[in-house]
Structure 1
Amino acid sequence: MQTISFKWRISQIFGDNTYTEDIDEKDKISTLEFDKTGDYIAVGDNNGRVILFQSDNIKNQSSSESDISDREIDIEESENGSEKEKEIEDEFIKKKKKQRLKYKFYTEFQSHEASFDYIKSLEVSEKINKIQWIKRRSQSHLLLTTNDQSIKLWKIITKKIRSFDNINSKKEQKNLNSENNFHFPKMEVTQVEKKSTNTKIYGDAHVYNINSISLSCDDETFISSDDLRINLWNLERSDKAFNIVDIKPENIKQLSEVITCSQFHPSECSEFIYSTSKGIINYADLRQGSKCNESVRRFQDVKNLEKETFFDEIVSNITDIKFSPCGRYILSRDFTSLKVWDLNMENQPLSTFYFHDFSHNRFNELYESDYIFDRFKCNWSGDGKYAMTGSYEDYYYIFDWKKNKGMLVDCSKTTTVYSEFYDANSEPNNENGFFENSENNNKLSYNSEKINLRKKILDLSFNPNNSFLAVAATNILYLFTGDEYKNQQSEKQNQNEILM
C-alpha cells in the first residue's frame, strides 16, 4: 500500500528556544486559543498576561518576518535521494511556502493580577486558566479570560491616529498665488494604537477555583466550572449567574469526585458536557431542567470500573474534554490515554490511544512531585480527522483516530519534520531506547530514566480553517504547518506492482 506521512514544518517560534532549568515560572504559557477565523491567536501565561498574534492574511496589514529564516525552514531531508526526488521536493516546498501562514505580534495586556482573599485567607494566582474568543460584531475584538476566581470580558480596539501632511510652510506662503507652491493638506494615518479595555468582571460566583469556561454557539451565554459547581452566565449581565450543576454533598466528607472540565456543544446552545475525576463524562441538556445533576447521560469506560491500585484512580482523572467540530464525538484526555467517544455509545470509547509508557515505573516519583496531576489538554483538527495532545520532552501526539494510527512530533527541531504514522494499538518493542523508532511498528518508546518531566507541552490549538498548529512548550510558542505528503518512491513501487 502507498505510505502516507504527515509533513510538519516549523513556521515560526516566539520566545527563547534555548531550554534552561531556571525558567521563570511566571513566563510559562498556561493556555492558548485560535479565534474562529484562525486569523488571531491568544496566548495566556502564569503572570496574568494575554498576548495576541495576528495573521498576515488580513488585508491592509504589513507582512511579518518569521523568527526562523527561510534557509532553516527549507532544509532538504532527502539528501541521499535521487535528483528527481529532490526536484519533486523543491516544487512541493515552493508551492507550500506561498500558502504558508505567518503571524506577528498584535498587542499585549495584563488581564489579571495576583490578589489575596481575606475572607478565605487564600492567595489568588494571576495565572490565566482559559481564554475564549467571542465572535466579532464590530471592528473590535472581544474575548473572555479567567484565573482561579474571576472572569473578565476584554475589548481590544484599534485606534488610528491621523494628522495633516503637506502643510504649506512659511516660505511658501509668500508665493501662494503660484499653483506649484500651494499644497492642499492631506489627512494621513501616522500611528495605530491598540487599546485593551476591561468591560465586565464576572466574579463572586465561585467558591472554588475556576478550571474552565466555555462559550455557547449563540455567543450570548457561557458556562464556568469549578471543582463542585457549574454556573451559567449571560454576557450582558455580570452581576448574576445561574447554578446548573452542583455536586457538593451535604456532608463534605462524603465527597468522592470533583468536576475537572466543561464545554458547550458546538451547534446546540442548550447542551453541554462536563468531566469528573472518576473518569466520567456527563452529557446534560438545559431543556430538561434548570438543574442538570441527575438528568444526564454518563460516558464511562467499563474497563476502568475496577481500580486495582491507588494510582490507577489518579491517572483516570480526565483533565480535558472537547467536542468534535461536527458535535457527534467527544475527545477526552487523562494522564496515560486519549479517548474518542461516540454520543450513541456510553459504555466504551470508539478509540483509545495509550502513551506515557514510562510512568508505570515512576508513579511514586510522579505523585510526590505532583507531576501526576499535570493538566494536559487535547484538541481536534479543523476537519475533525485528527486528534492531538501534548507530552513530555516537548513532544506531542497526533492521531488519525478513524484509521487507528498515531505519530509523535518533536518540537525542538527547527527543520522539516517527517513522521510516519504507526499502529496506535501496538506495543513498543524497544524498552531501552529513548524515543527510538521500533522497526516493526514505528512506535516511539521511552527510557524512564531519561525523561525530563519539567519539559512538557500542556496545551495546543489547531487552526479551524487551515492545517496550522500552535503548540505551547513551557515558555515557547511553536507554530507548525502540516500537510499529508505522499511518498513518491512508495507510489512508484505500487504502480510497478499493479503493472506486474
Structure 2
Amino acid sequence: MYADKTIKLWKISERDKRPEGYNLKEEDGRYRDPTTVTTLRVPVFHPMDLMVEASPRRVFANAHTYHINSISVNSDCETYLSADDLRINLWNLEITDRSFNIVDIKPANMEELTEVITAAEFHPNQCNTFVYSSSKGTIRLCDMRASALCDQHSKLFEEPEDPSNRSFFSEIISSISDVKFSHSGRYMMTRDYLTVKIWDLNMESRPVETYQVHEYLRSKLCSLYENDCIFDKFECCWNGNDSVVMTGSYNNFFRMFDRGYRQDVTLEASRESSKPRSVLKPRKVCTGGKRKKDEISVDSLDFNKKILHTAWHPQDNIIAVATTNNLYIFQDRLTSIQ
C-alpha cells in the first residue's frame, strides 16, 4: 500500500478464535499489577466471529519527492519498484531505509519538463524487465541488465496519432493512466481516457487491439475539461486467463471486453446490484434520438460517480470494483461475459 510518498507493507490475517484467561492482562487489555496475582491460569482460546485484521510490518519512506503513482512486486519475490512523476526506485523487501534509483527523467531545468511518469510495472516472469508509461501516451520497456540507471529504454511503444482526430484535448486524453502485463507476459494493456489498448511485446508500432470504453464522451470533452474529470486516472485489469479485460467508467459503470468473442458489456455497481443472488443487468448509454427502456442518456450520466479502481481474482471469476466510498465484490459463475 502507498499513501502519498510513503510505502507500507501490511500483513492480512483471519482470526476466528480469541485468547482469554491471561495472568497479567485484563480482558479489556489493561495490564494487571503482578502483586495481585495469587493463582496461575492457563490461557484458552474461545471461538468468535471471523475477523480480518491488517497489521503493519514495514514502512519504506524518504525516497520519493513526488506522490507515488505505482508499486509493483518483482517475480523474484525479493524486490519491488515504486514510481512517482519523475523517478522509479527499486527496493528490497527486507531493507526499509535504502532504495536504488533506476529511472530518472527529471530535467536539469524543470521548465524543460515535457512529460511525467504515470504508471510502472514489472514483467510477471522476467525479473529484469519492467515498463513505465508517460503522460505523452508512450510506454517504455526497460532491461535492468543493461545498466544500473535505465535511462535508455529497450523498446518504445507508441501509436501514431490520426491527424483527423487532432484537437486541443488530444494530448490530455492520450495520457496513459495504467499499464498491466498479461499473466502470460506476452501482452500488456494500457488505459487512456477513452480507450483500452492491448500491445504485443514484439510489436512496438501500434496496439494489436483497441477497445472503446466510452467513446460517447468525445463530444463532451470540453465540459469534462472544465470540471477536471478529463484528468481522472482509470485503472484496468485482466482476468485469470487473459481472455477478458475490465476497466471503469462514470455513473458507477464498468466495462468488460471479451477478446476472443469480440463482445463487450457495460455493468453498473450499485447497492441494488450488490444484494445477495442479484444478477447484474447490462446497461446501455443512449447518445441521441429516442431512448429505449433501460437505456440511460449520455446527458444523464453522473460524473461524480466513477469507478477508477478495478481488480480481478487471479484464478476465480471474482471481481472487485471501487466507487467513491464503496467496494463491491461480484462473482460470476459463467465463463463468458455474455
Fold similarity call, TM over 0.5: yes
Q: Does 1:203 align with 2:55?
A: no
Matching residue of 1:254: 112
Question: Residue 300 of structure 2 aligns to a residue in which SS?
Answer: coil
Letter in 1 for 2:8: K
Distance in 2 between residues matched to 1:329 and 1:379, nearest whole Å: 12
Look up the match of 2:29: none
- Shift of residue 339 of structure 1? 0.4
- Offset at residue 435 of structure 1 (A): 8.6
The answer to whether residue 251 in structure 2 is matched with residue 401 in structure 1 is: no
Structure 1: gaps (5+ residues) = 1-144, 165-184, 423-427, 438-443, 488-500
* Map of 1:457 onto structure 2: 307
Which residue in the other structure is 2:77 paired with? 219
Q: Distance in 1 between matches of 2:181 and 2:301?
A: 31
Paired with 2:291 and 2:194, the residues of 1 have a C-alpha distance of 18
Alignment of 1:337-416 (within 5 A): 337-412=195-270, 413-414=272-273, 415-416=278-279
Normalised by the length of structure 1, the TM-score is 0.57
Residues 392-447 of structure 1: CA deviation (Å, up to 9, x unaligned): 11111110123332111122353323549x9xxxxx9963466978xxxxxx8x74
- The aligned counterpart of 2:331 is 481
Q: Residue 45 of structure 2 corresponds to which residue in structure 1?
A: 189
Describe the shift of the 1:450–1:418 C-alpha distance in structure 2 as closer, same or farther (beyond 3 A).
closer
Change (3 A) 1:331 1:243: same
Q: Deviations over 1:146-172 (max 9, x none)?
A: 1111111223466754457xxxxxxxx
Q: Hey, what does 2:317 align to over in structure 1?
A: 467
Task: Using the aligned pairs only, state the percent identity.
Answer: 38
Residue-by-residue CA offset, 1:62-105 (whole Å, 9 max, x unaligned): xxxxxxxxxxxxxxxxxxxxxxxxxxxxxxxxxxxxxxxxxxxx
Work out whether residues 140 and 153 of structure 2, in 8 Å CA contact, stay in contact via their aligned partners in 1: no
Q: Write out per-residue CA displacement over residues 129-187 of structure 1, whole angstroms, 9 at most, x where no aligned residue.
A: xxxxxxxxxxxxxxxx11111111223466754457xxxxxxxxxxxxxxxxxxxx997
1:351·1:404 contact (CA, 8 Å) conserved in 2?
Answer: no
Query: C-alpha separation between the residues in 1 aligned to 2:136 and 2:209?
Result: 19
What are the residue-to-residue correspondences of 1:18-417 with 2, within 5 Å? 145-156=1-12, 161-163=18-20, 188-190=44-46, 196-303=54-161, 308-412=166-270, 413-414=272-273, 415-417=278-280
> Can you list the C-alpha shifts for 1:290-338, whole angstroms capped at 9, x where unaligned?
1112133111112358972220110001000101011111010011000
AA in 2 matched with 1:333 = R
CA 463–283 in structure 1, closer or farther in 2 if over 3 Å, else same: same
Any idea what SS the aligned residue of 1:302 has? coil
Contact 1:307/1:313 (8 A) holds in 2: no
Q: Is the 8 A contact 1:361 1:448 kept in 2?
A: no
Q: How far apart, CA to CA, are the structure 1 residues paired with 2:250 and 2:3?
A: 25
Q: Distance in 1 between matches of 2:152 and 2:99?
A: 20
Q: Measure how far apart 1:211 and its partner are.
A: 0.6
Which one has more relative contact order, counting CA pairs under 8 Å at least 6 apart? 1
Aligned equivalents of 1:391, 1:211: Cα separation in 2: 19
The structure in which a higher percent of residues are helix is: 1
Query: Whose Rg is larger?
Result: 1
The 8 Å contact of residues 263 and 272 in structure 1, kept in 2 or not, is answered as: yes
Instruction: Please give the TM-score of this superposition, normalised by the length of structure 2.
Output: 0.83
> 1:307/1:231 Cα in 2 relative to 1: closer, same or farther (>3 Å)?
farther
Q: Distance in 2 between matches of 1:213 and 1:195?
A: 22
The answer on whether the counterparts of 1:432 and 1:447 sit within 8 Å (CA) in structure 2 is no
Residue 180 of structure 2 aligns to a residue whose secondary structure is strand
C-alpha separation between the residues in 2 aligned to 1:434 and 1:201?
A: 53
Question: Is the CA contact 2:216–2:287 (under 8 Å) kept in the aligned structure 1?
Answer: no
Secondary structure of 1:288's aligned partner: coil
Give the deviation of 1:195 after TM superposition.
6.1
Cα distance in 2 for partners of 1:300, 1:346 equals 7
Pick closer, same or farther for the CA change 1:361–1:269 going to 2, 3 Å: same
SS at match of 2:321: strand
Residue 431 in 1 paired to residue 288 in 2? yes
- Aligned-residue CA RMSD in angstroms? 2.9
Q: What's 2:37 paired with?
A: none
Q: 1:372 is paired with a residue of what secondary structure? A: helix
Task: Give the unaligned 5+ runs of structure 2.
Answer: 22-40
| Alignment partners' CA distance in 1, 2:80 and 2:128 | 11
Number of corresponding residues: 310
CA gap 1:434/1:457 in 2 versus in 1, 3 angstroms = farther
Contact 1:279 1:317 in 2 (8 A): yes
Q: What secondary structure does 1:237 align onto?
A: coil
